[in-house]
Structure 1
């Protein structure tokens, strides 16, 4: 068997993780982008401006509009005028959105647990440390 390069393996494992996550998000009525937005809103200490949420998600603000539209239509978030700057829009997570963010977090955790079940606890911890080291290089 041909040895795969590290980048290819990481890409394949990431795709498998994403598929498992998407599968678990479907019953919640969310896609990964919406789940990420809810997670960012739930983790913020206060409502975020649209531009702040886009920065947090590392996407351009115009790409965020359909995500927030969908969250708003589902009653998971709402837009409000920023009282500190009336030209800015805040995105406020609703109680329903906060609850669903927690369920989506659990779905992501379960997808990871299933994927990495073939590893021992020590191997998972070592992988976590190595990936954290790589990730910190680019922050």
Structure 2
């Protein structure tokens, strides 16, 4: 029985999947003492990047940016609000809508998240030379850019994050 030729693209996809699992697991482990889950960290980062000059983001927009159902976003925001990291405010443009804004404690938590993400990335990619890290990043950017048009053409439920 002969073995099929190596499928480099599939092997690369598998290696990326393993890397992301390890990075996510280590990040989750390091955020645990702060009481922050990966989904909460992602929501806080999204709020920080989406809030121009401290403006609030609608809950529906947060759900859309996170690619999750509005109910799931509500659950994440409930936990963040209970921890004092965000607060809900009425949207002056639409009384039915709710906006979410980071609190001072949320900004502090975001700083810890950024630090943990940096440390985990350094631990994982530290053994890889700077030029190789740059090459990997460039290759992934090219792949992502080429993939993006096909992703928007896919059915709404097809995109997986």
User: TM-score, structure 1 length as denominator?
Assistant: 0.93
Q: Deviations over 1:74-116 (max 9, x none)?
A: 0000111101100100001101101111210111111111011
**Per-residue displacement from partner, 1:51-83 (whole Å, max 9, x unpaired)?**
111111111111111100000000000111101
Gaps of 5+ in 1: none
Task: Tell me the distance in 1 between the aligned counterparts of 2:115 and 2:109.
Answer: 10
- The alpha-carbon deviation at position 132 of structure 1 amounts to 1.5
Query: Which residue in the other structure is 1:63 paired with?
Result: 72
State yes or no: 1:14 paired with 2:14: no
- Matched residue SS, 1:87: strand
Aligned length: 137
Matches within 5 A, 1:20-99: 20-43=26-49, 44-45=51-52, 46-99=55-108
Q: Which secondary structure does the structure 2 equivalent of 1:75 belong to? A: coil
Equivalent position of 2:129 in the other structure = 120
Task: Give me the whole-angstrom Cα distance separating, in 1, the residues matched to 2:126 and 2:36.
Answer: 25
Query: Which segments of structure 1 move beyond 2 Å, counting only runs of 4 or more?
Result: none
Larger RCO, structure (CA 8 Å, separation 6 or more): 1
Q: Name the larger-Rg structure.
A: 2
Q: Name the residue aligned to 1:102.
A: 111
Task: Give the unaligned 5+ runs of structure 2.
Answer: 1-5, 150-161
Alignment RMSD: 1.4
SS, match of residue 36 in structure 2: coil
Indicate the residue corresponding to 2:155 in structure 1: none
